[in-house]
Amino acid sequence: FELVWHYSKENSDDWIEEIKCILSQTTEIDAELFIFCTYVLLECNTNLKDLLEPYRNHSNSQIKRQAEYVIGRLEPRKKKLEPRKLEPRKKNPRIGKLKNWIKRHWAR
């Protein structure tokens, strides 16, 4: 799958059945194989998020981390939050007093 990822990304959809077969073996999967399968999966036009759900609780931390990353990429993007409108700062009366004190004492 590393070669598919590097040299044949545009044909990723042709590998869906193989990916499904590999991902159905949740306990006996190699971390590197899983990672490259998910790379190819991200290039496909189908959402196989349901096949990745069991890997969120996998014993191998690399597989678990990769599953979380890919599921996050496959989920529909949330709407961006609108920026918060900031109110103008209120003037602090103590700053004015401080400026006046500085002017009086340093103007001598």
Q: 54 with 21: CB under 8 angstroms?
A: no
pLDDT of residue 57: 85
Cα 108 to Cα 103: distance, rounded to the nearest angstrom:
9
**Length of the chain, in residues:** 108
Dist. CA 84–CA 31, nearest whole Å: 42
The model's pLDDT over 13-45, given as tens digits with 9 standing for 90+, comes to 777 787 788 788 766 788 888 888 888 888 777
Terminal CA-CA length for the chain: 80
8 Å CB contact between 26 and 54 = yes
pLDDT on residue 26: 62
pLDDT score at 32? 84
Residues ≥6 apart with Cβ < 8 Å to 29: 22, 23, 63
> Is 6's pLDDT higher than 60?
no
pLDDT at 8: 62
Q: What is the mean pLDDT of residues 2-11?
A: 58
**What sections of the chain are H helices per DSSP?**
2-7, 16-23, 31-43, 49-52, 61-74, 93-106
pTM of the model: 0.59
Residue 4 confidence class, pLDDT cut points 50, 70, 90: low
Query: What's the pLDDT tens digit per position in 73-108?
Result: 877 655 555 666 667 667 777 777 777 878 887 765
In this prediction, residue 50 carries a pLDDT of 83
Please state the domain extents for the chain: 2-74
